[in-house]
Amino acid sequence: MALIQGTEFSLFWDKDREMLRDLPFSGRVEWLEKRIDQILIGPLKALEMVEKQRYVWLAVTELICAGIESLAGFYGDGRHPTNTDPDVSPFCRFVHRFMHGDFSRTAESISEGSWTYCEHLHKYFRGGLDHGFGIEWGGLWHDGEDGTHGYLRPAADGKGIAIDPRKLLDDFCLATQKYFSALRWEGEKSLIGENFQNRFNRMLEYRSRNR
């Protein structure tokens, strides 16, 4: 449960739906932020704590990518600034604004020339784990392996990129904070605020039709 503007919310869409309809922008922002912390950030941190008992990092990477996809729907799945490349996915719009700048670097894809690191994350990590339980091109590595340090790098075998999943988790948590700070700072009437409200209202409508 969470107390938001004097009302207790369960942080579940179905249970809170009617109260969410009347909640102002600031309350909705707080509600979604608390929901993400409850259903995603908290469980991800719990997985990190048991890494010595189980190999958790593919599951962590998949959940992070799912989180980016979902937040991208609130941030970038609507109208965009006029200088935005229309071919950039909502996923990468979110990553390029709120996550590490090296996601704009490029590396060879399987067959279509160079892609940004973000496109690799979306296509080969997110897509590969979604549809085949594995990373299609590239892989995970951990800071300090082979005496090298960092977060994002070309894969050692030259096939795609390598990502440190622990640093990916830290980056995603920070990006989530940055997104909600931007929402509050830019406000309801801004482009980011309007996209948020549109997506939030679509979620309420969808949940209304699917009880």
Residue 145's pLDDT is what?
A: 84
Strands (E), the chain: 2-4, 7-9, 106-108, 114-116, 139-140, 152-154, 161-163
Count CA atoms closer than 13 A to 118's CA, side-chain side: 21
Residue 111's pLDDT is what?
A: 77
Strands 106-108 and 114-116: antiparallel
Domain count, the chain: 1
Distance between CA 210 and CA 125 in Å, rounded?
30
From first to last of its 211 residues, the chain has per-residue pLDDT tens of: 899 999 999 999 999 999 999 999 999 999 999 999 999 999 999 999 998 899 999 999 999 999 999 999 999 876 666 556 656 899 999 999 999 999 999 999 997 789 999 999 999 999 999 999 999 999 999 988 888 889 999 998 989 999 999 999 999 999 999 999 999 999 999 999 999 999 999 999 875 444 4
Residue 78's pLDDT is what?
A: 66
Residue 207's pLDDT is what?
A: 54
In this structure, the number of other CB atoms found within 10 A of the CB of residue 102 comes to 15
Supply the pTM of this predicted model.
Answer: 0.92
The residue segments making up the domain with residue 63 are 2-209
Residue 81's pLDDT is what?
A: 61
Residue 211's pLDDT is what?
A: 43
Task: Give CA 145 to chain center in angstroms.
Answer: 26
